[in-house]
Amino acid sequence: MSASLLALDPGKLPELRGNVLVIGSGIAGLTAALTAADRGARVILVAKSALSESATFYAQGGIAAALMSGDSPEKHLADTLEVGLGLGDPGAVAVLVNEGRAAVQELIDGGIRFDRRDGDLHFTMEGAHCHRRILHGNGDATGRLLEEFLLARLQEQPQIAVYENHFVVDLLVLDNQCFGAVMLDGNYGRLLALRTDTTILATGGGGQVYRETTNPAVATGDGYALAHRAGARLRDMEMTQFHPTTLYLAGAPRFLISESVRGEGAILVNQDGAPFMQKYDERGDLAPRDVVSQAIMKEINAAAGAQVFLDLRHLSPALIRERFPNISQICASYGLDIAGKPIPVRPAAHYFMGGVVTDLDGLTTVERLFAAGETASTGVHGANRLASNSLLEGLVFGKRAAERALNYAPARWRKILLTRPERHGGAPLDLSDLRHSLQSLTWRHLGVFRSEPRLREAEQTLAQWKRYVFAEEFQSRAGWELQNMLTVAQLLTTSALQRQESRGAHQRFDFPHTAPTARHTEI
């Protein structure tokens, strides 16, 4: 029997039944739901907010696929493994680049409108790619293009029952098998039991655990916490990718400045206007994201908190307007004309490369429970994700998870009781204050650079908070989200302490060298 945030008999709740439960509505979740429904399954799709509110919707740069003349899946595979620094799984990457190429071509054949020049698909360059292979849509709004394309298909599929503004509190697990979940109806405040043959976690990442993040508000790491309580194994949770260039203006959100901006020729400069990336890596501004993020923080720390900027002034204003209309508009709303003035930038938490361990079909270590997209650890990213591989991963492995999920025989329903240790509630908690405190703690101690003293302090503080936060029996999404975020922060801390080396996105002051043998951390 798994741990739970609830204590109840799900058999006494109103029930919804289906073949496949999909939790999450980004590219992985939508692809999984559509794949299962197209094969005749009855699908329940749950989104904790609006369907379109996902990291996919806000993805700017593009989706990588070796479709351009002179490129190949083999080259794409080599680039992905090189950036992964020994933690990437060659078999998983081979699936990604080969099936991904076919999946993107299927989107094109299906009518998706990626950007073109002179009638031909336009491919751009991003850091650590050896070839121009990044397809994009509406300039710098590729994720929105993909999300809306898939949502349009969803509207045509009667086999999918959609539940927006519903929050999955816990999974129903017995004898290491998952039989569905319990969810909160966000409209009426009641709990519902979802009885399904298989469940697919596609909840995205957990960037909201950090104070500085590019992630939308829904990215609170729920899938990691759900899987952990269900007894599933998680891997490499310390591998948080920090996007090197997010808008850094007082009062402005940490809006992502796409890597494709540097791909088109923008350069990073210090407060004196001098380029600096070449002294950190021979690839300069097109080095992998971990290298660029660390270089920026070194420049900032060396000059006692000075600013770093992304300079586009040498590029054509017409090119800037055509390729980056969304970035131009957002910056202009804060009085910044990016064609005439450099953009102040800093790193922010962006993508979790670790996650719930799965096989190549998305199956976790719990039977009937699958994971896909950022929630999963398929082995494709390793220690540092190659730019624009994330949308591709959701497309490829969302489909594979759904296909494998349909191979399971109908579940034999069994009585499941959700239990939690006895709790002793105290005074009401200020959830907003706790959430902000947690985000600040992780940013200070689990940011771009780490060390054992900082990690031990985080470990002790999180344990203290967890003692009284988990003593509370919440009846709201906000409370359960906070408990999930605390769980994820603990997983990050434990994993970061295990990895006594510096590798890719995980950099430790006290272990600056990379170990000769690459090993995974597991919880």
Note the pLDDT of residue 2. Answer: 66
Note the pLDDT of residue 288. Answer: 87
pLDDT of 362 strictly over 70: yes
pLDDT tens digits, 61-116? 899 999 999 999 999 999 999 999 999 999 999 999 999 999 999 999 999 999 99
Note the pLDDT of residue 120. Answer: 94
The H or E element that residue 98 is part of is helix 90-109
Mean model confidence pLDDT for the chain: 95
Q: CA-CA distances (angstroms) from residue 3 to 178, 206, 437, 480?
A: 13, 20, 26, 14
289 as an active site residue: the answer is yes
| Of 258, 262, 310, the residue nearest 139 (C-alpha) | 258
pLDDT category of residue 1 using cuts at 50, 70 and 90: very low
Residue 135 tokens read as 């397809």
Q: Tokens 């503004």 correspond to what residue?
A: 165
> Is residue 85 a contact partner of residue 504, using CB atoms and an 8 Å limit?
yes
pLDDT category of residue 309 using cuts at 50, 70 and 90: very high
Supply the angle between the helices 222-230 and 477-498 in degrees, to the nearest 10: 80
Residue 216, classed as helix, strand or coil, is coil
Kindly name the residue from 101, 144, 289, 368 that is annotated as catalytic: 289
pLDDT of 425 strictly over 70: no
Strand partners, 351: 241
Q: What proportions of the chain, in percent to the nearest 5, are helix, strand and coil?
A: 35, 20, 45
Strands (E), 321-412: 343-352, 355-357, 369-371, 376-377
Note the pLDDT of residue 372. Answer: 98
* Pairing label, strands 43-46, 15-23: parallel
Residue ranges of alpha helices (H) inside 114-213 are: 142-155
Note the pLDDT of residue 12. Answer: 95
Q: Tokens 């997209």 correspond to what residue?
A: 373
* Pairing label, strands 191-201, 177-185: antiparallel
- Tell me what percent of the residues of the chain surpass a pLDDT of 70: 98
Strands (E), 298-342: 308-311
CA angle 277, 332, 288 (to 5 degrees): 25
pLDDT tens digits, 283-306? 999 998 889 999 999 999 888 778
| Mean pLDDT lowest among 102-106, 173-177, 247-251, 374-378 | 247-251
pLDDT category of residue 422 using cuts at 50, 70 and 90: low
If one compares 284 and 427, the residue with the highest pLDDT of the two is 284
Note the pLDDT of residue 250. Answer: 85
Domains of the chain (ranges plus CATH)? 10-239+353-405 (3.50.50.60), 243-347 (3.90.700.10), 431-508 (1.20.58.100)
Note the pLDDT of residue 426. Answer: 63
pLDDT tens digits, 380-421? 999 999 989 999 999 999 999 999 999 999 998 888 989 886
pLDDT tens digits, 463-519? 999 999 998 889 999 999 999 999 999 999 999 999 999 999 999 999 999 999 999
Note the pLDDT of residue 414. Answer: 83
pLDDT tens digits, 259-287? 889 989 999 999 899 999 999 999 999 99
CA 272 to chain centroid: 35
Amino acid at 183: M
Note the pLDDT of residue 472. Answer: 87
CB-based burial label for 523 (10 Å; 0-12, 13-18, 19+): middle
* Pairing label, strands 191-201, 369-371: parallel
Mean pLDDT in residue range 30-52: 97
> Is residue 379 a contact partner of residue 88, using CB atoms and an 8 Å limit?
yes
pTM of the model: 0.95
Residue 473 tokens read as 């029996």
